[in-house]
Amino acid sequence: MSKVKYQFIENEDELRFKINTLDKVANEYLMKIEDLYMEDLFFMSVIDKSIKLIDTFLFALDRRNITILATLTRVQMDCVMRAFAGTMVSDSGDFCKAVLVENVPINKLKDTNNQKLTDKHLCEAVGKYLNLPVYDLYKKVCGFVHFSSASFHNIAKAGENCDMTMFISRENRKDDKQEFERLSLELANQFFFFGSLLIEELFASWLEQKKS
């Protein structure tokens, strides 16, 4: 059962502050590393990738750029999934060595039940751990990332007389301002949640495990 719970933050200023300080939270935990294990190197690499997303995410949040926000949220989820994979194998040290040193793709490795660590399998495992529909969320986010009919619906708008207007621009359609604000806030909450989960749950649990 996860200690980090998903709580939707409605205040955007508060949410921005929390996202912007994820790197400081990470540093507090990273400073607790003493003896260096292969798992530490793995977590350090994953956390570095995660916090490097922050500046671009906040810029995209200002612009209400859903494509970028969704892409970065998916990368954040990927970081969590790959960190969680280390809890699903028989030997986390060997797992981390295979990924970091031997350059083995994670989806080629197997868990304790001999299942390959595919994105779907990892999503479902994280979802079960959190008791949240993570795989459904992952598919929804991927809908913004990969080209699909959603890309067409973003530019096309039906008129009153069976006509259609097309809007292709760096900017969002002004008529859809509220919808883009809603989606932006939703993605920002997910980005923060998974960033916190990586640092304050998965990495923190590993640090505690080292003590035992």
Residue 79 lies in a domain: yes
Q: State the pLDDT at residue 144.
A: 79
Residue 103 lies in a domain: yes
Residue 123 lies in a domain: yes
Q: State the pLDDT at residue 44.
A: 98
Nearest 5°: phi and psi at 6? -80, 120
Residue 62 lies in a domain: yes
Q: What angle do CA 169, 171, 173 make, to 5 degrees?
A: 90
The count of domains in the chain is 1
Q: What range defines the domain where residue 185 resides? A: 12-146+174-206
Which bin fits 69, alpha (ψ -120 to 50), beta or left (φ > 0)?
alpha
Q: State the pLDDT at residue 172.
A: 67
Q: State the pLDDT at residue 189.
A: 98
Q: State the pLDDT at residue 200.
A: 97
Q: pTM score, two decimals?
A: 0.90
Nearest 5°: phi and psi at 164? -145, 135
Residue 129 lies in a domain: yes
Q: Tell me the pLDDT of the chain (212 aa) as tens digits.
A: 688 899 999 999 999 999 999 999 999 999 999 999 999 999 999 999 999 999 999 999 999 999 999 999 999 999 999 999 999 999 999 999 999 999 999 999 999 999 999 999 999 999 999 999 999 999 999 887 777 666 666 666 666 666 666 666 677 667 778 888 999 999 999 999 999 999 999 999 999 999 88
Residue 125 lies in a domain: yes
Q: State the pLDDT at residue 192.
A: 98
- Estimate the share of the chain in helix, then strand, then coil, as percent rounded to the nearest 5: 65, 5, 30
